[in-house]
Amino acid sequence: MATLKYSFLLSSYLLFILVLFFLKKGYALDTAAIESHYHTVQISSLLPDSVCSSTSTTKGSKKRQSTLEVIHQHGPCSQLAQNNPTTTPSLNEILSNDQSRVDSIQARIKPDSNTNNIKNTNSNTNNLNNKKANLPIQSGRSLGSGNYIVSIGLGTPRKTLSLIFDTGSDLTWTQCQPCVKSCYQQEDPIFSPSTSTSYSNVSCNSAQCSQLSDATGNDPGCATTTCVYAIQYGDQSFSVGFFSKDKLTITATDVFPNFLFGCGQDNQGLFGKTAGLLGLGRNPLSIVSQTAQKYNKHFSYCLPSTSSQTGHLTLGRNGISRNVKFTPFSTSQGTSFYFIDIVSVSVGGRQLPIGRSVFKTAGGIIDSGTVITRLPPLAYIAMRAVFKKLMAKYPTAPAYSILDTCYDLSGYKTVTIPTISFTFGGNVRVDLDPSGILVVVNGSRVCLAFVANGDPSDVAIFGNTQQKTLEVVYDVAGGKLGFGHGGC
């Protein structure tokens, strides 16, 4: 009897201890969870250093195959920016160019509302002069200028070219000698087809020439027997020239003999000192499609947290870490863009109180060339309200360009900001890096790095500021997009 009573007491005591333990553990978990809804950030860590530190190269690129270093066009890691402070656009210019890019993306996705019929205005392309005159100014692809660049090799012998990489366009092009009409100033020597033994023109009556209509939005022209392409990017940026083939060298072992590209004879616009553009869209003429046999339409990249660091662009399935989670691409709606489903957004751990239809109505894309993420108006208003509440202790500052929620943080070395996370289809949650939450104009003006779309039916765009430091994996053949943390 006594032992029974004793063991009853003992087990009650154990139970009590256990309950205490769980209560304590639960409490501890709660505080941890609350803490993890904020980032403590040094303002200086969001600003680029004046010198380049390629830390991510050793972390990401060096051990991977088929990998190119990704550099911000205007940062200290870019040779294109060196000695050329005049060609470096201000943040204000970058943000207003960003709006032009977004406007042109919306126009491409909603073609019925776009009154410019590009195909008809450019069907007669017998000479390059007329071609230029006919280019519509407003519609078409817009470049923006917050762009990242990679270097590839073209021709035999191989010449190195620094190109803007752009998931929002398809045709790869570079400026070409003899620059029949005009070339802007670029850093690399301008590609010279006559000195490349592997170069050839694409003829007007080839199937490849007719693919240009979809890839550029303009019907091809014909100069004697050579196919002529024309592509415009809004902001009066454009490239027009011969449609060509030559050997593309990604790395020493990754060589593509008959790569189709534009050999630009008339080029103008916001290309900085780059040699042109690398198109990573989903169209058959993009580099993704043209290298499908080797890389199976698989590529990934990481954009560094500041422009004084480097990231990487990897073609093929190399070195994808296990922490990457995949969301399915949604239907492409016949464009070159990569559509994804945004399901919800949380600020400081609180899911924004908006209906699922807000994101469903508009749909969403991921874009490497849009700087600031665009949200449906209701989503942005809800985000801003929660963000302001959680930032209430900091003094506010006037709006800057397209950014309307700014703080004067000049009195602070470190600040505590709410976390922001996106949930994509398939329940893939992505926590943004602090560099994807704030844009630092200067210490006395630090702004929330999001903008509302003008119309609820405009597509949401997950832009490159928000992609910083993430490993972003495009498995185009597999129909899915992956996100991992700590990509560079």
Q: Is 224 in the site for ligand NAG (CB under 6 A)?
A: yes
Nearest approach in angstroms of CB 412 to ligand NAG is 14
Q: Is 242 in the site for ligand NAG (CB under 6 A)?
A: yes
Kindly state the smallest distance separating residue 406's Cβ from ligand NAG, in Å: 9
Q: Let me know: does 263 contact 191? Beta carbons within 8 Å.
A: yes
Tell me, yes or no, if 112 is annotated catalytic.
no
> Is residue 409 exposed (0-12), middle (13-18) or buried (19+ Cβ within 10 Å)?
buried
The only residue of 193, 311, 434, 482 in contact with ligand NAG, by rule CB under 6 A: 193
The catalytic position among 166, 170, 188, 266 is 166
Of the ranges 56-64, 67-75, 141-149, 437-445, which one interacts with ligand NAG (CB under 6 A)? 437-445
**Catalytic, out of 98, 254, 367, 433:** 367
Considering the rule CB under 6 A, would residue 445 count as an interface residue with ligand NAG?
A: yes
Which span sits near ligand NAG by CB under 6 A: 75-83, 157-165, 218-226, 332-340? 218-226
| Distance from C-alpha of 180 to C-alpha of 281, rounded to nearest angstrom | 28
Interaction of residue 441 with ligand NAG, rule CB under 6 A: yes
Q: Are strands 325-328 and 480-484 parallel, antiparallel or unpaired?
A: antiparallel
**Gyration radius of the chain over CA positions:** 25
- The residue (of 48 and 418) whose beta carbon lies closer to ligand NAG is 48
Chain centroid to CA 440: how far?
Answer: 19
Distance of CA 399 to the CA centre of its chain: 24
Q: How far is the CB of 263 from ligand NAG (least distance, A)?
A: 8
Of 353 and 411, nearer to ligand NAG (C-beta) is: 411
**CA 146/CA 168 separation, integer angstroms:** 13
**Complex with ligand NAG: residue 242 or 338, whichever CB lies closer:** 242
Whether 475 sits among the annotated catalytic residues: the reply is: no
Question: By C-beta, is 212 or 488 nearer to ligand NAG?
Answer: 212
How far from each other are the two terminal CA atoms of the chain, in whole angstroms? 67
How many other C-beta atoms are found inside a 10 Å radius of the C-beta of residue 174?
30
Check: CB of residue 223 under 8 Å from CB of residue 127: yes
Q: Which stretch binds ligand NAG (CB under 6 A): 64-72, 220-228, 231-239, 250-258?
A: 220-228
Cβ–Cβ under 8 Å, residues 149 and 273: no
The answer to whether 473 touches 467, Cβ cutoff 8 Å, is no
**CA dist 144 → 95, 98, 235 (Å):** 8, 5, 9
Torsion on CA atoms 452, 453, 458, 462, rounded to nearest 10: -60
Q: Contact with ligand NAG (CB under 6 A): which of 66, 73, 100, 226?
A: 226
Size of the site for ligand NAG (CB under 6 A): 12
| Cβ atoms 223, 126 nearer than 8 A | yes
Q: Is 87 in the site for ligand NAG (CB under 6 A)?
A: no
Instruction: Name the 3-class secondary structure at 76.
Output: coil
Say whether residue 201 binds ligand NAG (CB under 6 A). Answer: yes
Q: Is 411 in the site for ligand NAG (CB under 6 A)?
A: no
Residue closer to ligand NAG by CB (options 113, 195) is: 195
Whether residue 131 contacts residue 228, with contact meaning beta carbons closer than 8 Å, is answered with: yes
Q: Please, which residue, 203 or 457, has the CB nearer to ligand NAG?
A: 203
**Least separation in angstroms between CB 265 and ligand NAG:** 9
Decide whether 223 or 488 has the Cβ nearer to ligand NAG: 223
CB of 52 to ligand NAG, least distance (A): 24
Q: How far is the CB of 410 from ligand NAG (least distance, A)?
A: 7
The rounded distance, in Å, linking the Cα atoms of 84 and 450 is: 29
CA separation (Å) from 470 to 304, 338, 434? 8, 17, 12
> Which string of x and - marks every residue 135-174 that binds ligand NAG (by CB under 6 A)?
----------------------------------------
| Pair of tokens at residue 24 | 């304590």
216 binds ligand NAG (CB under 6 A): no
Smallest separation (angstroms) from ligand NAG to the CB of 267? 16
- Which of 442, 456, 457, 478 binds ligand NAG (CB under 6 A)? It is 442
Question: Does residue 223 interact with ligand NAG by CB under 6 A?
Answer: yes
Q: Which of 328, 318, 281, 363 is nearest to 471 (CA)?
A: 318
User: Which region holds residue 69: left if phi is over 0, alpha if psi is between -120 and 50, else beta?
Assistant: beta
CB closer to ligand NAG, 110 vs 132: 132
Among residues 150, 144, 421, the alpha carbon closest in space to that of 302 is found at 150
> In whole angstroms, what is the distance from residue 422 CA to residue 472 CA?
14
Binding flag, residue 444, ligand NAG (CB under 6 A): yes
Catalytic residues: 166, 367
* Footprint of ligand NAG (CB under 6 A): 193, 199, 201, 223-224, 226, 242, 400, 441-442, 444-445
